[in-house]
């Protein structure tokens, strides 16, 4: 059977990087094909070439065996190739139908836009593929999972036969992710070709038929999932054996270090992001805070670190009331923070690694008002040595570091300040398996050293792997808290969706 799309010998150079090195890749109609690889392995570049966003230095692209003259995304769309990016391209104030026809010549000129016809067609598509999207609904009223299905509708309406999804489950709850994979299966069953770009191994095993693995710009393997395993995929992707589960010792938690009492905080729009939230973080434990993004996790982290003012409640470090303390005071009192947005909050991309390594600690590096650059450089060199940050050049701009290396800078900086409590937010988001392993190991080492760690994560796997206790946040409130032993995926998943998780017969602690 001829594949729907084949890429043959694709070469793509950027100055100093060979992003794609004679890559062969093909997708058949009716299959879900996963494209797996660490960050920087070249999988996004490959998909952007296929979608016409980038030109290529060599190689050809065939659609059903015929060469495709691909010059722009318009050519790609005309050939039946569609792509959904991580950030959705939707107009929030428009209806589903308006978003779907946006950019097509539906009315044209001065003639009024005909929306009734497209709306009927969209409803029909939605029914046929089990998308459950109401064409007249406004985007801003739809949950993220549904918005993603609107993106799928946009492609189907444009008669896409190949759908490429870049990290599609990153923004979804476990339930939504499951529903999406079901939709993708329906699409494949009806003859579409589906590519998911991801680094989540369990998802690939659950959903994909075949998987192509890339490393350092080359394809290192293309296998059927049925004959493979997570361990094999991880080994192919990283190039060595990796431990996918973190080993924790059992260790009794010590006295309380950081207490949050009835904290109420507003978000940027003035809505209530935290609503009387209480937590107790103890010495030598990792408290996992699970929740879908946007349920107040960021606001909690910001309120704990002084970046957001509390409207009510208290934050206590030991006996000291920090509720009104400045970020600098909290830091020197022993609260360290590793923000989720490492590129825009935790670091300054245009500055060097050395300059980023002292961010927050700049006072300690000043003598008579001047920064001691030799000391900051040697500190950065030390960090890079200890946490294996590459390239090992303190003068290298932080913005050019990979996500994993940048995260190690952030984490190393926080650890070096020898905090009593550490707040880490989405510490492994967007990191590849090798980097995840390193970050997890570091967090567990800190726990052994008796630090109190609040782990805020939307990745349940991470929460379950690392935490001693698990709390679930939903709309600014704690839905429930349980020890690691009682935590199970289903119960946490229900709480993340806003129910108290009592359906499974547990009472709240």
Partner 1 sequence: MRILERRAAPAEGAAASALSTALAVLAALAAGGLLFLPFGADPFSAYAALFGESFLTWRGLGFTLLKAAPLILIGLGTVVAWRTGFGFLGFEGCVMIGAAAATWVALMVREGQILAGLPFAAFLPLAILASLIAGGLWSGIVGLFKSRFGGNEVITSLMMNYVALLLVQYLVSGPLREPGGLPQSPRLPRETWLPQLFDGMRANAGILIALAAALVVWGLLLRSRIGYEMVVTGLNPRAARFGGVEVGRRQFMAACLAGGLAAMAGMVEVLGLHHRLIDGMSGGVGFVGMVAALLGKLHPLGVVIAATLYAGMTVGADAMQRQAGLPSSIVFMIQSLIVLFILAGEFFRRYRLRLPGRRTASAGEGV
Q: Which of 221, 365, 402, 499 binds partner 1 (CB under 8 A)?
A: 365
* The residue to which tokens 């660490």 are assigned: 38
Restricting to residues 368-387, which ones interact with partner 1 according to CB under 8 A?
Answer: 369-371, 373
Per CB under 8 A, the segment of 14-22, 95-103, 203-211, 444-452 that binds partner 1 is 14-22
Burial class (CB in 10 A: 0-12, 13-18, 19+), 482: buried
Rg, C-alpha atoms of the chain: 24
> Does residue 270 interact with partner 1 by CB under 8 A?
no
Sign of the torsion formed by the C-alpha atoms of 155, 156, 160 and 166: positive
Work out how close the CB of 484 gets to partner 1 at its nearest, in angstroms, rounded to a whole number. 30
Q: Which of 346, 419, 427, 493 binds partner 1 (CB under 8 A)?
A: 346
Work out how close the CB of 380 gets to partner 1 at its nearest, in angstroms, rounded to a whole number. 14
| Tokens describing residue 189 | 């069953």
> Does residue 397 interact with partner 1 by CB under 8 A?
yes
Do 409 and 220 contact (CB within 8 A), yes or no?
A: no
Q: Which of 26, 57, 121, 488 binds partner 1 (CB under 8 A)?
A: 57
**Nearest-10 crossing angle of helices 230-238, 433-448:** 100
> Minimal CA–CA distance to 207: which of 165, 155, 151?
165
Per CB under 8 A, the segment of 103-111, 352-360, 423-431, 478-486 that binds partner 1 is 352-360
Cα 195 to Cα 163: distance, rounded to the nearest angstrom: 6
> Does residue 78 interact with partner 1 by CB under 8 A?
no
Q: Which of 22, 138, 158, 248 binds partner 1 (CB under 8 A)?
A: 22
Work out how close the CB of 78 gets to partner 1 at its nearest, in angstroms, rounded to a whole number. 17
Do 293 and 171 contact (CB within 8 A), yes or no?
A: yes
> Minimal CA–CA distance to 170: which of 194, 211, 198, 147?
198
In the chain, count H helices and then E strands.
Answer: 16, 22
> Minimal CA–CA distance to 335: which of 313, 355, 320, 354?
320
Q: CA 352: distance to chain centroid?
A: 25
Phi/psi of residue 333, each to 5°?
-75, -15
Cα 393 to Cα 377: distance, rounded to the nearest angstrom: 9
* Nearer residue to partner 1 within complex by CB, 31 or 372: 372
Q: Which of 159, 363, 445, 490 binds partner 1 (CB under 8 A)?
A: 363
User: Within 10 Å of residue 1's Cβ, how many Cβ atoms?
Assistant: 6
Q: Which of 242, 246, 345, 497 binds partner 1 (CB under 8 A)?
A: 345
CA atoms within 13 A on the CB side of 88: 27
> Does residue 243 interact with partner 1 by CB under 8 A?
no
Q: Which residues contact 109 (CB under 8 A, 6 or more apart)?
A: none
Q: CA 430: distance to chain centroid?
A: 5
> Does residue 54 interact with partner 1 by CB under 8 A?
yes
* Nearer residue to partner 1 within complex by CB, 124 or 341: 341
Work out how close the CB of 362 gets to partner 1 at its nearest, in angstroms, rounded to a whole number. 5
> Does residue 282 interact with partner 1 by CB under 8 A?
no
What dihedral angle (degrees, nearest 10) is formed by the CA atoms of 304, 308, 311, 314? 20
Q: Which of 91, 206, 231, 328 binds partner 1 (CB under 8 A)?
A: 328
Q: Which of 30, 59, 266, 312 binds partner 1 (CB under 8 A)?
A: 59
* Nearer residue to partner 1 within complex by CB, 82 or 360: 360
The DSSP letter of residue 508 is P
Work out how close the CB of 306 gets to partner 1 at its nearest, in angstroms, rounded to a whole number. 8
Q: Which of 291, 296, 360, 394 binds partner 1 (CB under 8 A)?
A: 360
Phi/psi of residue 237, each to 5°?
-70, -45
User: Within 10 Å of residue 137's Cβ, how many Cβ atoms?
Assistant: 14
> Does residue 67 interact with partner 1 by CB under 8 A?
no
Evaluate the omega torsion of the peptide bond into residue 391 and state whether it is cis, within 30 degrees of 0. yes
Restricting to residues 284-323, which ones interact with partner 1 according to CB under 8 A?
Answer: 305, 307
DSSP H helices, 417-474, are 433-448, 460-466
Q: Which of 246, 348, 416, 497 binds partner 1 (CB under 8 A)?
A: 348
Cα 80 to Cα 63: distance, rounded to the nearest angstrom: 9
Q: Which of 400, 486, 502, 508 binds partner 1 (CB under 8 A)?
A: 400
* Nearer residue to partner 1 within complex by CB, 200 or 429: 429
How many residues sit in the footprint of partner 1 (CB under 8 A)?
46
Q: Which of 2, 55, 104, 385 binds partner 1 (CB under 8 A)?
A: 55
Per CB under 8 A, the segment of 137-145, 268-276, 311-319, 366-374 that binds partner 1 is 366-374
Work out how close the CB of 370 gets to partner 1 at its nearest, in angstroms, rounded to a whole number. 5
Work out how close the CB of 269 gets to partner 1 at its nearest, in angstroms, rounded to a whole number. 16
Work out how close the CB of 12 gets to partner 1 at its nearest, in angstroms, rounded to a whole number. 9
Per CB under 8 A, the segment of 6-14, 73-81, 212-220, 241-249 that binds partner 1 is 6-14
> Does residue 9 interact with partner 1 by CB under 8 A?
yes
Residue 129, H or E segment: none
Q: Which residues bind partner 1 (CB under 8 A)?
A: 9, 11, 13-15, 17, 19, 22, 54-55, 57-59, 71-72, 305, 307, 326-328, 331, 337, 339, 341, 344-351, 355, 359-360, 362-363, 365-366, 369-371, 373, 397, 399-400
């Amino acid at each position: 059977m001829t594949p729907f799309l084949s890429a043959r010998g694709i070469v793509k150079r950027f100055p100093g990087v060979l992003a794609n090195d004679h890559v062969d890749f093909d997708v058949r109609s009716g299959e879900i094909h996963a494209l797996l690889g660490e960050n920087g392995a070249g999988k996004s570049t490959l998909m952007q070439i296929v979608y016409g966003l980038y030109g290529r230095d060599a190689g050809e692209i065939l659609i059903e065996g015929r060469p495709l003259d691909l010059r722009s995304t318009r050519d790609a769309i005309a050939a039946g190739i569609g792509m959904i990016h991580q950030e959705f391209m939707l107009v929030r104030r428009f209806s589903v139908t308006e978003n779907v026809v946006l950019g097509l010549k539906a009315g044209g000129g001065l003639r009024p836009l005909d929306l009734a016809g497209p709306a009927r067609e969209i409803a029909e598509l939605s029914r046929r593929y089990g998308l459950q999207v109401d064409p007249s609904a406004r985007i801003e009223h739809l949950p993220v999972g549904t918005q993603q299905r609107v993106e799928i509708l946009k492609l189907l309406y444009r008669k896409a036969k190949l759908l490429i999804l870049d990290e599609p489950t990153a923004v979804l709850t476990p339930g939504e992710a499951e529903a999406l994979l079901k939709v993708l299966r329906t699409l494949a069953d009806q003859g579409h070709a589906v590519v998911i770009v991801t680094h989540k191994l369990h998802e690939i095993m659950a959903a994909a038929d075949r998987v192509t693995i890339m490393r350092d710009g080359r394809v290192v393997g293309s296998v059927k999932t049925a004959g493979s395993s997570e361990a094999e995929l991880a080994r192919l992707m990283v190039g060595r054996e990796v431990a996918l589960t973190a080993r924790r010792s059992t260790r009794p938690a010590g006295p309380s270090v950081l207490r949050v009492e009835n904290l109420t905080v507003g978000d940027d729009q003035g809505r209530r992001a935290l609503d009387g939230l209480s937590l107790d973080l103890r010495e030598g434990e990792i408290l996992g805070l699970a929740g879908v993004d946007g349920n107040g996790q960021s606001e909690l982290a910001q309120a704990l670190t002084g970046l957001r003012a509390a409207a009510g409640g208290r934050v206590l470090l030991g006996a000291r009331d920090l509720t009104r303390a400045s970020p600098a005071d909290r830091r020197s009192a022993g609260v360290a923070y590793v923000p989720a947005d490492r590129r825009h909050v935790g670091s300054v991309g245009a500055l060097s690694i050395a300059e980023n390594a002292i961010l927050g600690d700049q006072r300690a590096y000043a003598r008579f008002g001047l920064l001691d650059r030799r000391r900051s450089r040697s500190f950065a060199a030390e960090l890079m040595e200890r946490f294996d940050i590459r390239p090992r050049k303190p003068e290298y701009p932080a913005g050019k570091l990979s996500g994993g290396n940048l995260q190690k800078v952030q984490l190393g900086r926080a650890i070096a300040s020898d905090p009593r409590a550490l707040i880490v937010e989405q510490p492994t988001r967007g990191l590849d398996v090798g980097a995840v392993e390193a970050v997890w190991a570091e967090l567990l080492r800190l726990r052994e050293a008796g630090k109190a760690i609040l782990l805020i994560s939307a990745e349940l796997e991470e929460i379950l792997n690392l935490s001693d206790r698990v709390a679930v946040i939903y709309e600014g409130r704690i839905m429930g808290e349980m020890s690691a032993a009682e935590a199970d995926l289903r119960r946490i998943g229900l709480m993340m969706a806003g129910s108290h998780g009592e359906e499974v017969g547990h009472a709240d602690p």
